[in-house]
């Protein structure tokens, strides 16, 4: 950290500042400030007047220019899972604190310091940030890996904004009480907060000059990383060659950018790069970063909704969130009485969160984007009504047939079914068999032909279907559907989405089958097919499933019918995934696996039909 630069900056920002005030502002002793000012005077940067008040010379202003801040990069790509359900609707950085959005407060503070070259790195709900371009003239940079990689990758995608420049690196969800940004910064720094007890934060050691010498995750009575960061061009020169190397190394996908800095300090980077066969440019020097210690009430990184409630009382009663308002109304409690909110793993169709009220746990389901085209919620409500007497499903206490919002009691200690456990397979197939034999009916069918045509239309509406041999495979699907129709199979109420994640294994040995949004009248063997392809079963594993359901070896016709539905289900869900990807949701290899089921099992059925 250039101390002469800090002296010059203090005088430039406040020409009437005294040496005592400089000492207080920079957390230096008065004697140290007196000595530094004498050095600045001897260097021609400063002239001293009466009452220890100094003035900056032209040489001092020229000297200060090397420290001018060129811009800021604001990270805003992440989901913010600890703030569900608020972040289901709004990125965390756009949440308001005392009536002001967190990212807007930081942008305004940057503008007050004269910093207007601001780039916001976006990903999740990126469209929500678009208005900032017009309101504050910021730029947006999209991170295509926001959903499956951590901040190392985010900073990597923004790397060109740092090279050769002095740049703040900020998080959109920080809240700063006082403006801590400046037009000039005299060395790279990380904002630090102090804890008097044990912490799991990133704890920092630094020497007498403030240079950070070590970083460890977890510590006691220490300073820890908390809030804004500043990258000088000198720091970036040393830091980004290592970060770029890390980005290329497998296994670093979930690292924070701070992991790179920590391993630079502890030497771990040398082992990692040597193992990967990567060498840094000749003449590389270790980047220096300094501690910027802040008082307790200056920087806030809200970890969850509970912390935000304590800080901004408005969130205790009114969060402006549809799901929270619904829970409050249904359970007849204030929002402040909704606790322990946790994001459950988002499903492929819906999003859900777990919460507690009065010591009892519940799940709230929120339909995902585009779901209104895929799911008829009135039909789903009719299914829940039809099966209510069986006692095999979740304990639903609220269901809105218009929009699909659902609140259900949570089964403490329950787990999802294991598709590779013989005991779980036996129990789940027993429930499915008894359900099929119950004779329950609803008015609506699940027509796989109609669904395939509908999903194909959605895909074409949102862009071309991506499979090169789609027309040929579609023709095989039509042949399978014609054959199935010719059999005149009886139809019963079927679940359709009978994957093992939807079977709950209860602590008392019971089993429940949840999420009936696709259910309708259909050939019950479709449920066996769907269960198989959702579990990524091969033929042998599928055979085990069928034997558990039938409690005997399946007949050849039964087996071929299941295989036909496996092909059709794979085809259907591959189209579904293509459509969802057009809405911005990706499911990795799922699309390819489902399409492969369509091709492989249609060939198996057609080959064996020739033998019958």
CA gap 146, 159 in Å, rounded: 15
pLDDT band at 584 (very low <50, low <70, confident <90, very high): low
Hey, which bits of 463-519 come out as E strands? 492-494, 503-505, 511-513
Q: Which two tokens stand for residue 599?
A: 């091709």
What are the backbone angles phi and psi of residue 253, rounded to the nearest 5°? -60, -35
- Do residues 369 and 386 touch, judged by C-beta distance below 8 A? no
Sign of CA dihedral 172, 178, 183, 188: negative
Give the number of other Cβ atoms within 10 Å of residue 121's Cβ. Answer: 26
Closest CA to 344 of 358, 365, 323: 365
What pairs with residue 211 in β-bridges? 290
pLDDT tens profile 492-520? 999 999 999 999 999 999 999 998 999 99
Cβ atoms of residues 191 and 229 within 8 Å: yes
Of 125, 156, 124, whose CA–CA distance to 256 is shortest? 156
Look at phi and psi of residue 370 and say left if phi exceeds 0, alpha if psi is from -120 to 50, else beta.
left
Alpha-carbon distance of 355 to 339, in angstroms, equals 6
Mean pLDDT of 445-454: 94
DSSP annotation of 184: B
> How far apart are alpha carbons 136 and 113 in whole angstroms?
14
pLDDT > 90? residue 134: yes
Q: In Å, what is the CA distance from 328 to each residue of 101, 316, 319, 333, 401?
A: 24, 11, 11, 5, 19
Assess whether pLDDT exceeds 60 at residue 211. yes
State residue 529's pLDDT score.
Answer: 97
Strand order of the β-sheet with 71-76 is 139-142, 118-122, 71-76, 167-171, 212-231, 189-206, 290-293
From 52-56, 183-187, 224-228, the region with the lowest mean pLDDT: 52-56
- d(Cα 97, Cα 506) in Å, to the nearest integer? 41
Residue 432, CA atoms < 13 Å, CB-side half-sphere: 34
Q: What are phi and psi of 184, to 5 degrees?
A: -130, 135
Helices then strands, each counted (H, E), the chain: 23, 23
- How far CA 545 is from CA of 371, 436, 529, 584, in Å, comes to 30, 16, 10, 34
Burial (Cβ within 10 Å: 0-12, 13-18, ≥19) of residue 161 = buried
Burial level of 159, CB count in 10 A (0-12/13-18/19+)?
middle
For 542-553, the DSSP string reads HHHHHHHHHTSP
Q: Please state, in angstroms and rounded to a whole number, the distance separating the CA atoms of residues 273 and 275.
A: 5
C-beta of residue 4 within 8 angstroms of C-beta of residue 36: yes
Question: How far is residue 57's CA from residue 33's CA, in Å, rounded to a whole number?
Answer: 18
For residue 283, the tally of other CB atoms under 10 A from its CB is 5
Specify the pLDDT at position 486. Answer: 95
Question: Average pLDDT in the 143-160 region?
Answer: 92
SS3 363: strand
Helix axes 556-582, 448-461, angle to 10 degrees: 20
Computed over every residue of the chain, the mean pLDDT equals 91
- Can you give the pLDDT at residue 245? 93
Summarised one tens digit per residue, pLDDT across range 8-48 is: 999 899 888 888 889 988 888 889 988 998 999 999 999 98
Sign of CA dihedral 31, 35, 38, 40: negative
CB contact at 8 A, 75 and 338: no
Q: Answer whether residue 152 shows pLDDT above 80.
A: yes
Whether 194 shows a pLDDT value over 90: the answer reads: yes
Residue 448 has pLDDT above 90, yes or no: yes
Would you state the pLDDT for residue 612?
Answer: 64
Assign 259 a pLDDT band (cuts: 50, 70, 90): very high
Neighbours of 55 (CB within 10 A): 12
Between 116-120, 340-344, 435-439, the lowest mean confidence (pLDDT) is in 340-344
What whole-number distance in Å separates Cα of residue 598 and Cα of residue 505? Answer: 30
The stretch 530-537 carries a mean pLDDT of 96
Is the distance from CB of 154 to CB of 146 less than 8 angstroms?
yes
pLDDT score, position 372: 66
The tokens for 535 are 């579990």
Separation CA 143–CA 156 (nearest Å): 9
262-292: pLDDT as tens digits: 999 998 888 899 888 888 888 899 999 999 9
Query: How do residues 345-396 score in pLDDT, each as one tens digit?
Result: 655 567 888 999 998 999 998 887 656 667 889 999 999 999 998 999 989 9
pLDDT digit string, tens, across residues 315-326: 877 777 888 889
**Which tens digits make up the pLDDT trace of 50-104?**
667 788 899 999 999 999 999 999 999 988 888 888 888 889 999 999 999 999 9
Write out the DSSP string of 507-571.
TTS-EEE---TT-EEE-THHHHHHHHHHTT--HHHHHHHHHHHHTSPPPHHHHHHHHHHHHHHHH
């Amino acid at each position: 950290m250039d101390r002469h630069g800090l002296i010059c900056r203090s005088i430039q920002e406040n020409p009437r500042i005294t040496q005592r005030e400089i000492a207080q502002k920079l957390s230096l002793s008065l004697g140290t400030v007196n000595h530094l000012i004498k050095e600045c005077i001897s260097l021609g940067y400063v002239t001293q007047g009466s009452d220890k008040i100094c003035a900056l010379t032209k040489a001092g202003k020229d000297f200060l220019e090397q420290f001018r801040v060129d811009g800021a990069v604001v990270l805003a790509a992440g989901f913010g899972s600890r703030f569900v359900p608020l972040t289901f609707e709004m990125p965390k950085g756009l949440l308001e604190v005392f009536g002001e959005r967190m990212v807007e407060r930081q942008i305004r503070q940057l503008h007050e310091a004269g910093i207007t070259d601001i780039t916001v790195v976006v990903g999740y709900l990126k469209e929500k940030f678009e208005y900032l371009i017009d309101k504050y003239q910021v730029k947006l940079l999209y991170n295509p890996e926001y959903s499956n990689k951590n901040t190392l990758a985010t900073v990597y995608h923004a790397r060109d904004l740092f090279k050769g420049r002095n740049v703040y690196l900020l998080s959109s969800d920080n809240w700063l009480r006082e403006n801590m940004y400046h037009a000039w910064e005299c060395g790279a720094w990380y904002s630090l907060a102090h804890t008097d007890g044990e912490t799991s934060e990133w704890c920092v050691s630094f020497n007498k000059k403030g240079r950070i010498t070590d970083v460890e995750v977890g510590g006691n009575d220490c300073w820890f990383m908390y809030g804004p960061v500043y990258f000088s061009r000198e720091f970036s020169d040393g830091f980004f060659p290592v970060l770029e190397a890390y980005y290329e190394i497998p296994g670093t996908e979930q690292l924070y950018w701070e992991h790179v800095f920590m391993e630079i300090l502890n030497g771990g980077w040398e082992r990692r790069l040597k193992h990967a066969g990567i060498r840094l440019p000749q003449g590389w020097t270790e980047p220096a970063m300094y501690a910027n210690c802040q008082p307790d009430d200056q920087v806030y990184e809200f970890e969850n909704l509970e912390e935000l409630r304590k800080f901004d009382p408005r969130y205790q009663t009114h969060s402006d969130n549809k799901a929270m308002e619904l829970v409050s109304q249904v359970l007849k409690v204030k929002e402040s009485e909704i606790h322990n909110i946790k994001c459950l793993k988002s499903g492929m169709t819906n999003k859900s969160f777990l919460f507690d009220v009065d010591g009892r746990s519940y799940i709230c389901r929120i339909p995902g984007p585009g779901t209104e085209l895929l799911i008829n919620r009135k039909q789903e409500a009719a299914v829940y009504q039809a099966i209510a007497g069986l006692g095999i499903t979740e304990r639903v206490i609220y269901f809105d047939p218009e929009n699909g919002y659902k609140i259900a009691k949570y089964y403490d200690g329950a787990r999802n079914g294991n598709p590779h456990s013989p005991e779980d397979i036996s129990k789940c197939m027993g429930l499915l068999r008894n359900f099929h034999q119950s004779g329950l009916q609803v008015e609506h069918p699940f027509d796989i032909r109609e669904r395939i045509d509908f999903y194909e239309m959605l895909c074409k509406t949102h862009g071309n279907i991506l499979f090169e041999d789609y027309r040929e495979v579609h023709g095989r699907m039509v042949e399978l559907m014609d054959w199935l129709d010719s059999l005149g199979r009886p139809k019963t109420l079927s679940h359709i989405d009978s994957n093992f994640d939807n079977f709950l294994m209860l602590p008392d040995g019971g089993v429940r089958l949840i999420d009936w949004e696709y259910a309708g009248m259909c050939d019950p063997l479709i449920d066996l097919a769907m269960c198989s392809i959702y579990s990524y079963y091969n033929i042998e594993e599928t055979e085990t499933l069928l034997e558990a359901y039938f409690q005997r070896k399946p007949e050849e016709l039964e087996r071929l019918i299941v295989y036909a539905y496996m092909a059709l289900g794979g085809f259907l869900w591959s189209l579904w995934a293509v459509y969802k990807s057009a809405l911005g949701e990706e499911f990795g290899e799922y699309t390819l696996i489902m399409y492969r089921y369509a091709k492989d099992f249609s060939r198996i059925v057609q080959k064996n039909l020739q033998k019958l």
